[in-house]
Structure 1
């Protein structure tokens, strides 16, 4: 029995589909591993912010929380394929993009804006000092954002 090359095509297509599935799974697994490692790192940074706040370093604590929120929101934009046009987006830019893409609700958006306002008190020497209560809210709010917004 003589078989031409077309007999190999279904076998080849089956192998190609197996490779495509493996590639897709690998990408998903790598993204999951990145998310887990990032979550662990963020937890450590929030713990550092708590320790700084307890020691009276309110601005430093607030700044760390702001960076954590910013990184988390940027990661969410990547996960949801949201393109950010600004070269160095801040919390407000990322927050707005997530709201516009219906990833977060208006109450979540407002909550994150409130945290961004506290963070801005910490990052800028102009104006008043952040209060202990505001920093406590920012630390707790950062933990809440990390655990509830994804």
Structure 2
């Protein structure tokens, strides 16, 4: 059976390979003669066949960047800003130099010269090392996944929440509707706290409710609008279960809350 971690690894591998292809495409664009010489004389490979495997950097980079950024935001949030800074033009940058040249400059084919002889001080080849750093940050996610302490924490958390979900189902089956709803709220709160821990999000407000966590995690782009709206619905069901003294949730509504809680804790991390 394919696990969630296996799926993540497969996606990481795909993005990593795509990054290598984009890196090679950059080198071909900037140093075609050197690359051809290396392939034909050193590697003894078919250079023309190799060229056919490469993407056009300007066409494929943004797709790769968006996907890689999402992965890093999810699993290595502490390096996300570093990753973004390698792409975006620095705010307040007064001059473009080789040491502050970024991918956005590369895509615009920016060339900076100085003096009467038009000596080049910054140009597209400077972005090759910059992109290599982006690929390195993405590849660091593999180490994050391999960290045994991280895995143990996640496994124990998942097992604990699974057990509590089973209790919630038993409560609902026994017609203890409000108790089942209250337990779902506890499960969601634990998972929210874990998400905040993993993504380095500070929770300053005491007595956070589901809607408070939902707004906080959406603000930090941990998940998209669709998930935010889904959690909003779960929060409404929880409110009905625990805070609305005049109306009792139906068995169907409490099952929606339990199933929705299970879906959330097993798909958002």
User: Within the alignment, does 1:29 sit opposite 2:148 as a pair?
Assistant: yes
Which sections of structure 2, spanning at least 5 residues, go unmatched? Answer: 1-142
Alignment match, 1:145: 264
Deviation for aligned residue 1:88: 2.2
User: Within the alignment, does 1:118 sit opposite 2:237 as a pair?
Assistant: yes
Alignment match, 2:25: none
Report matched runs for 1:8-19 at 5 Å: none
**d(CA) in 2 for partners of 1:125 and 1:105?**
29
Q: Which has the larger radius of gyration?
A: 2
Aligned-residue RMSD, C-alpha = 1.6
Deviation for aligned residue 1:30: 2.4
Higher relative contact order (CA 8 A, sep 6+): 1
**d(CA) in 1 for partners of 2:154 and 2:207?**
22
TM-score normalised by L of structure 2: 0.45
Alignment match, 2:168: 49
Which sections of structure 1, spanning at least 5 residues, go unmatched? Answer: 1-23
Q: Deviations over 1:58-91 (max 9, x none)?
A: 1011111111011101110110001111022121
**d(CA) in 2 for partners of 1:78 and 1:90?**
17
Deviation for aligned residue 1:125: 4.9
The answer to whether the 8 A contact 1:52-1:61 is kept is yes
Deviation for aligned residue 1:34: 1.6
Alignment match, 1:132: 251
- Count of residue pairs brought into register by the alignment: 125
Q: Deviations over 1:78-128 (max 9, x none)?
A: 100011110221211111111001111111001011101111111125220
The answer to whether the 8 A contact 1:49-1:139 is kept is yes
Q: In proportion to residue count, which structure has more helix?
A: 1
Alignment match, 1:88: 207
**d(CA) in 2 for partners of 1:100 and 1:125?**
28
User: Within the alignment, does 1:40 sit opposite 2:159 as a pair?
Assistant: yes
TM-score normalised by L of structure 1: 0.78
